[in-house]
């Protein structure tokens, strides 16, 4: 564990010494803030219209579904494009600079290298997501949202971002070019994001499989305050698969 933490600290230092982490966190926060106030403005307009027009039994706009759920879905879309910026340099950069050979020949196992690097990305992502809790906190202070969907939705976002990060790190393990790693990671995550699209036309077992493989579908219950074993298992499996592929790629590189 000490070795994993040492590798993690080394990666965190590299992240925060370079401007990449600051640009990604700041850009993410600005985008989330923009969409948060956009959704909030839309919700305010809906409430104003509903007070002026007789709804005749129609439900009033829901703060959680309109604002929080909408913002969390938007955050997932942004993460699809931002996470590759964090993961593309994880291993590809070290291969290009030649420093990875020193690391791989040191008395450190491949598993420790993968877990140490992944832990550093996990910490950066958790910080990035936690900063944006300020927006739901504003709703809690000045509005009356349900707390459970916020907590479970945040948990879903963390798990989803870690799954995306493990895939990005796996892609970075297979190449020495950061740009290639970033582009391939982005395309892979985008395909994963829209994988449920063919489900409507396929139907049957194939449709169920595509829906299950979709992180968007798995997030639905979590964003509504329902924590299910199926969703947790999906995201944990996504993380494990990404880490496994990273380990296999590095082991193959080690024995070249």
Q: Minimal CA–CA distance to 76: which of 22, 132, 26, 38?
A: 132
Whether the full predicted model's pTM is greater than 0.85, yes or no, is: yes
If DSSP codes are grouped into helix, strand and coil, which group holds residue 56?
Answer: coil
pLDDT of residue 67: 87
Domain residue spans of the chain: 2-254
116-130 pLDDT per residue, tens = 989 999 999 999 999
- CB distance 93 to 173 below 8 Å: no
Closest listed residue to residue 185, CA positions, set 170, 197, 163: 170
**Cα 249 to Cα 254: distance, rounded to the nearest angstrom:** 9
pLDDT of residue 45: 81
* Residue 52 CB coordination number (10 Å): 7
The predicted structure's pLDDT at residue 142: 83
> What whole-number distance in Å separates Cα of residue 69 and Cα of residue 193?
17
Q: Output the six-digit token pair for 78.
A: 């942004």
Average pLDDT over residues 95-107: 66
Which residue spans within 148-239 are E strands per DSSP?
none
pLDDT over 70 for what percent of the chain?
Answer: 86
Residue 101 has a pLDDT of 64
In this predicted structure, the answer to whether residue 77 has a pLDDT above a threshold of 60 is yes
Tell me, what DSSP letter sits at residue 120? H
């Amino acid at each position: 564990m000490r070795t994993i933490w040492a590798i993690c600290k080394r990666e965190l230092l590299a992240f925060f010494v370079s401007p990449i982490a600051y640009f990604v966190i700041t850009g993410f926060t600005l985008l989330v803030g923009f969409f948060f106030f956009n959704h909030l403005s839309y919700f305010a307009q809906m409430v104003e219209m509903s007070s002026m027009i007789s709804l005749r039994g129609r439900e009033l706009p829901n703060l959680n579904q309109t604002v929080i759920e909408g913002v969390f879905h938007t955050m997932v879309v942004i993460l699809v494009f931002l996470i590759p910026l964090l993961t593309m340099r994880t291993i590809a950069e070290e291969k290009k600079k030649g420093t990875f050979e020193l690391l791989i020949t040191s008395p450190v196992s491949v598993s420790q290298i993968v877990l140490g690097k992944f832990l550093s990305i996990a910490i950066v992502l958790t910080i990035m997501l936690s900063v944006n809790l300020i927006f739901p906190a504003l709703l809690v202070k000045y509005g009356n949202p349900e707390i459970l969907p916020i907590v479970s939705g945040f948990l879903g976002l963390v798990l989803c971002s870690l799954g995306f990060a493990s895939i990005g790190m796996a892609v970075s393990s297979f190449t020495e070019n950061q740009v290639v790693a970033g582009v391939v990671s982005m395309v892979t995550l985008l395909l994963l994001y829209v994988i449920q699209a063919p489900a409507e036309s396929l139907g049957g077992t194939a449709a169920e499989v595509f829906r299950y493989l979709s992180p968007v579908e798995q997030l639905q219950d979590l964003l509504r305050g329902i924590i299910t074993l199926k969703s947790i298992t999906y995201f944990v499996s996504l993380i494990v698969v990404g880490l496994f592929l990273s380990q296999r790629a590095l082991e193959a590189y080690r024995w070249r």
